[in-house]
Amino acid sequence: MKRVFEEFEDESGTVTRYRRHDNGRGLVSLKATAHATAFIEATAYVEPGAEVAANAWIGAGSWIDADAFVGAGAFIGSNVHIGEGAQIGRGARVGSYSKVAPLVQVGDGVRVERDSRVEGRRVVAKAA
């Protein structure tokens, strides 16, 4: 069986190749890692260098930017942007329509409410 890849070119002419993840059919860069048990919705993207751990859920229209990390069992709602190099802890929940800025660290089990903006280079504390 022949492997099928999808390619996208950005404004600067850089081409990124993606494959469809078996669980959800989301687009995962060939230079990213997504665990087989993670669910990645068909309209979600995982960029180069990013990692999605076991049993994580990535919702429709969400974008996991380059070098970001989504921990085991984390939930990323619909239309969420996880910024470049950001880290989402184990079991954390990021509500739909939220934006997590680059390099932000969201602790294990933390809940980010829907339509939130987590800005700057801050660490969002571990859930109580």
Q: What is the Cα–Cα distance from 26 to 24, expressed in whole angstroms?
A: 6
CB-neighbour burial class of residue 76 (10 A; exposed 0-12, middle 13-18, buried 19+): buried
Which CATH number do you get for residue 95?
2.160.10.10
Percent of the chain scoring above 90 in pLDDT = 80
In this predicted structure, the answer to whether residue 78 has a pLDDT above a threshold of 90 is yes
| Local confidence band at 8 (pLDDT 50, 70, 90 cut-offs) | confident
For residue range 16-47, list pLDDT tens digits in order: 899 999 999 999 999 999 999 999 999 999 99
The answer to whether position 1 is within a domain reads: no
- Owning domain of residue 45: 6-124
Query: What is the rounded average pLDDT for all residues in the chain?
Result: 92
Predicted confidence at residue 2, as pLDDT, reads 56
Number of domains making up the chain: 1
